């Protein structure tokens, strides 16, 4: 909203508070900021002496803590607390010493340093009596972290800065440390993103859990994991409606001998992914993007040159070596800030050269492509726009005056208003997770009856959304504007997906490929 004099009101929330502050501090709301006294400015920012109302900063802090409103990030800057120097503790807690070291000192060490420290300590009889079980627990838990290859991590490292592999191995170390027996552990592709060295350590930990008397079920594509498993269940033979059957079961060696198992054919080497014989030539004429002085997290003030002009570059290394810090925290954030004015601060580095060779940056990750049942593969890829154009151009649609918007479940008109085009209704189960049930008015079809009376080649808009990508490629083969993008989905292995499959049901890998 905008006032008559042109001032823009940031939010209606807190406007009455601002009036109350002005009344208490005796100033007019028309007074320019620079004309206010220091006390008046402080009252607006942090609240007046009476504390009857909150200031701007406490209000924004409360909203951020509760909702994490993205807009607020531009007004925020993270810095070390000057009072505790980042320890998070008060002076009394920081004053406590163990063998000359405070808890802040111990927390700043790596796991490896901590393991060495506690191994070398000589305890007095009194310390041994009081802390025997505590010392044992500390040593055990540190050794578990070391065993899963996380010895390089600082104990105080924020969990938000950990890579996916690091976070998963910390959880595994916690499971091993718990020493439970008779537990069934279920893991979904734990090897994703792991270097072969780290994968071996991960498998050692899984076998350690098994040796403790536990069972493990692992959803996995990794060859080494399959070869070390006691039993492999191969589901197939294809994806989507072409799958859903048990093709083979046994050891990896037994699968190799099963001609029906596609997994077995790859394990035996009868099928393989061909390595390209020719690669793009990189020489002195190739343009590069160069990062100088990268030193975020584990990076040691390094310089890195990345070839451009259509080059395919892989950044690899063991877990924790700095791959994510370099690519995600420095490169991606700096490019997003440079080209798209993103607010997220990049990691520590000196400068970046070669930006003139790029005009935009696109990040493709595994975050969901939509958060409601109305989002699906064809809405995200804009294919649905062309399908809606097609239905709106049909003779019956023109007779009825139906436009493209009639065939959208995001706006009123042609959608079922009882479920607002979602096809489902959410039932709140109070203390249990909410349950989705098909809408009883449209029977899950998302559209109202008049809209479903428009047919193209015998199918209405609901029928089209129920088709798989493979089926749609045949159905729309004479319409290039629709079939060409569908073929792209087919080529990246998503031919089994329904056109209208809710984005909320897609896996991270499916979302990334879309």
- Give me the helix-helix angle, 125-147 and 196-211, nearest 10°: 120
Render pLDDT for 108-125 as a digit per residue (tens, 0 to 9).
Answer: 898 989 999 999 989 999
Q: How many residues does the chain have?
A: 514
CA distance 226 to 218: 9
Task: Tell me whether residue 216 is exposed, middle or buried, using C-beta atoms within 10 angstroms of its C-beta: 0 to 12, 13 to 18, 19 or more.
Answer: middle
What's the pLDDT tens digit per position in 451-506?
999 999 999 999 999 999 999 999 999 999 999 999 999 999 899 999 999 888 88
Which of 512 and 216 is assigned the larger pLDDT?
216
Q: Which of 323, 299, 363 is nearest to 164 (CA)?
A: 323
* Cα–Cα distance measured from residue 86 to residue 41, given in angstroms and rounded to the nearest whole number: 28
Q: Which has more pLDDT, 507 or 282?
A: 282
User: What number of other Cβ atoms are within 10 A of residue 116's Cβ?
Assistant: 13
Q: Domain segments of the chain: what residues?
A: 15-75, 109-230, 288-357, 377-513
Phi-psi region of 240 (alpha: psi -120 to 50; beta: other; left: phi over 0): left
Is the model's pLDDT at 73 over the cut of 70? Answer: no
Whether the pLDDT of residue 67 is over 80: the answer is no
Please report which confidence band the pLDDT of residue 195 belongs to, taking 50, 70 and 90 as the band edges: confident
| pLDDT tens, position by position, 310-342 | 899 999 988 778 888 899 899 999 998 898 887
Q: What is the 3-state secondary structure (H, E, C) of 107-131?
A: HCCEHHHHHHHHHHCCCCHHHHHHH
- Which of 164-178, 260-274, 393-407 is predicted least confidently? 164-178
Give the model's pLDDT for residue 9.
Answer: 53
How much is the mean pLDDT over the chain?
Answer: 87
Residue 327 has what pLDDT? 94
State which fold the 109-230 domain adopts. Rossmann fold (3.40.50)
Place of tokens 């080209």: 339
Contact between residue 57 and residue 45 where contact means Cβ atoms under 8 Å apart: yes
**CA 127 – CA 142 distance, rounded (Å):** 20
Q: What is the pLDDT of residue 370?
A: 75
Q: Which of 146-150, 267-271, 318-322 has the highest mean pLDDT?
A: 267-271
What is the structure's pLDDT at 205? 85
- Residue 8, pLDDT above cutoff 80: no
* Cα–Cα distance for residue pair 324/336, rounded to 1 Å: 16
How far apart are alpha carbons 101 and 108 in whole angstroms?
Answer: 11
Instruction: List pLDDT tens digits, range 220-264.
Output: 999 999 999 999 999 988 877 778 899 999 999 999 999 999 999
How far, in Å, CA of 340 to CA of 388, rounded? 31
* Backbone dihedral angles phi then psi of residue 247, each to the nearest 5 degrees: -90, -40
What is the value of pTM for the model shown?
A: 0.63
State how far the Cα of 45 lies from the Cα of 56, in Å rounded to an integer.
5
Instruction: Annotate 354-365 with b (16+ C-beta within 10 A) or e (fewer).
Output: eeeeeeebeeee
Q: Which residue in this structure is represented by tokens 């499916």?
A: 510
- pLDDT recorded at residue 369: 78
Neighbours of 410 (CB within 10 A): 13
CATH number given to 377-513: 1.20.1580.10
**Percentage of the chain with pLDDT > 70?**
94
**The token pair that represents 117 in the structure block:** 């420290």
Q: What is the pLDDT of residue 12?
A: 45
CB neighbours of residue 415 within 10 Å: 25
**CA-CA-CA-CA dihedral for 331, 335, 341, 342, to nearest 10:** -30
Compute the average pLDDT of residues 46-52: 88
Q: Indicate if the pLDDT at residue 175 is higher than 90.
A: no
pLDDT of residue 503: 87
pLDDT at 47 over 80: yes
Among 47-51, 143-147, 267-271, 488-492, the least confident range: 143-147
- pLDDT for 312 equals 92
For residue range 348-358, what is the model confidence (pLDDT) as tens digits? Answer: 999 999 999 99
Confidence of residue 1 (pLDDT cuts 50, 70, 90): very low
For residue 265, with 0-12 CB atoms within 10 Å meaning exposed, 13-18 middle and 19 or more buried, which class applies? Answer: middle
Please indicate whether residue 300 or residue 51 has the higher confidence score (pLDDT).
300
Report d(CA 343, CA 70) in Å as an integer: 10
Tell me: pLDDT of 6 over 60: no
């Amino acid at each position: 909203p905008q006032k008559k004099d042109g001032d823009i009101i940031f939010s209606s929330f807190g406007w009455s508070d601002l009036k109350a502050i002005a009344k208490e501090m005796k100033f007019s709301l028309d007074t320019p900021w620079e004309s206010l006294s220091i006390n008046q400015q402080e009252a607006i920012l942090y609240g007046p002496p009476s504390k009857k109302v909150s200031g701007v900063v406490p209000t924004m802090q409360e909203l951020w803590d509760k909702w994490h409103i993205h807009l607020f990030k531009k007004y925020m800057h993270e810095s070390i607390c000057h009072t505790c120097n980042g320890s998070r503790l008060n002076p009394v807690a920081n004053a406590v010493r163990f063998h000359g070291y405070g808890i802040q000192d111990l927390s700043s060490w790596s796991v490896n340093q901590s393991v060495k420290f506690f191994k070398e300590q000589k305890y007095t009889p009194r310390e041994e009596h009081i802390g025997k079980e505590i010392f044992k627990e500390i040593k055990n838990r540190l050794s578990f972290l070391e065993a899963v290859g996380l010895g390089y991590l600082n104990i105080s490292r924020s969990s938000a800065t950990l890579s996916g592999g690091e976070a998963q191995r910390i959880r595994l170390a916690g499971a091993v440390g718990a020493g439970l027996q008779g537990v069934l552990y279920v893991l979904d592709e734990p090897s994703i993103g792991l270097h072969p060295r780290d994968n071996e350590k991960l498998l050692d930990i899984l076998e350690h859990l098994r040796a403790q008397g536990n069972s493990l079920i692992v959803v996995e594509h990794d060859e080494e994991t399959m070869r070390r498993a006691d039993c492999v269940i191969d589901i197939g033979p294809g994806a989507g409606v072409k799958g859903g059957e048990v093709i083979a079961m046994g050891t990896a060696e037994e699968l190799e001998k099963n001609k029906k198992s596609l997994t077995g054919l790859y394990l035996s080497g009868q099928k393989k992914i061909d390595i390209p014989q020719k690669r793009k030539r990189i020489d002195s004429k190739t343009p590069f993007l160069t990062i100088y002085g990268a030193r975020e997290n584990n990076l040691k003030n390094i310089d890195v040159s990345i070839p451009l002009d259509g080059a395919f570059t892989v950044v690899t290394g063991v877990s924790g070596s700095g791959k994510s810090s370099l690519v995600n925290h420095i490169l991606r954030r700096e490019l997003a800030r440079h080209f798209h004015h993103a607010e997220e601060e990049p990691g520590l580095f000196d400068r970046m050269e070669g930006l003139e060779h790029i005009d935009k940056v696109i990040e493709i990750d595994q975050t969901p492509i939509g958060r409601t049942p109305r989002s699906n593969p064809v809405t995200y890829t804009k294919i649905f726009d062309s399908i809606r154009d097609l239905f709106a151009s049909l003779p019956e649609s023109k007779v009825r005056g139906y436009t493209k918007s009639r065939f959208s479940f995001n706006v009123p008109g042609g959608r079922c208003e009882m479920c607002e085009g979602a096809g489902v209704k959410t039932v709140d189960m109070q203390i249990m997770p909410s349950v989705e049930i098909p809408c009883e008015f449209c029977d899950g079809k998302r559209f109202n009856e008049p809209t479903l009376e428009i047919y193209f080649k015998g199918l209405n808009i609901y029928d089209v959304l129920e088709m798989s990508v493979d089926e749609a490629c045949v159905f729309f083969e004479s319409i290039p504007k629709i079939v060409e993008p569908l073929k792209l989905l087919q080529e990246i292995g998503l031919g089994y997906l329904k056109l209208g499959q809710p984005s909320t049901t897609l896996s991270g890998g499916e979302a990334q490929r879309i």
